Amino acid sequence: MHTTGLPDLVLLLLVLVLLAGGKRLTDVAQGLAEAIDKFRGGGGGTPSHPIPSNDSALLLRKRRKKDHD
């Protein structure tokens, strides 16, 4: 049974670069990275887990701001 080693992967990458071109390959890699990030729950926007309202550091900052105003 043949396992895929480093030389096989390098050859595959070289063939992909020749067929797709460097610019297109970077676009595909960037799209794949964004898809993985969104799948893991990232991707910007509002956080899925906001800061809890009982966070002592946040409450302390709010109190200091009120006292300062």
- Residue 3 CB-half CA count within 13 A: 2
Tokens of 20: 């797709």
Q: Is the dihedral of CA 4, 10, 14, 17 positive or negative?
A: positive
Q: Report pLDDT digits (tens) over 17-47.
A: 888 777 787 888 888 888 888 888 765 555 5
What's the pTM? Answer: 0.37
* Band (49; pLDDT cuts 50, 70, 90): low
What is the structure's pLDDT at 32?
A: 85
* Band (57; pLDDT cuts 50, 70, 90): confident
Q: Which of 38, 17, 39 is nearest to 28 (CA)?
A: 17
CA distance 13 to 17: 6
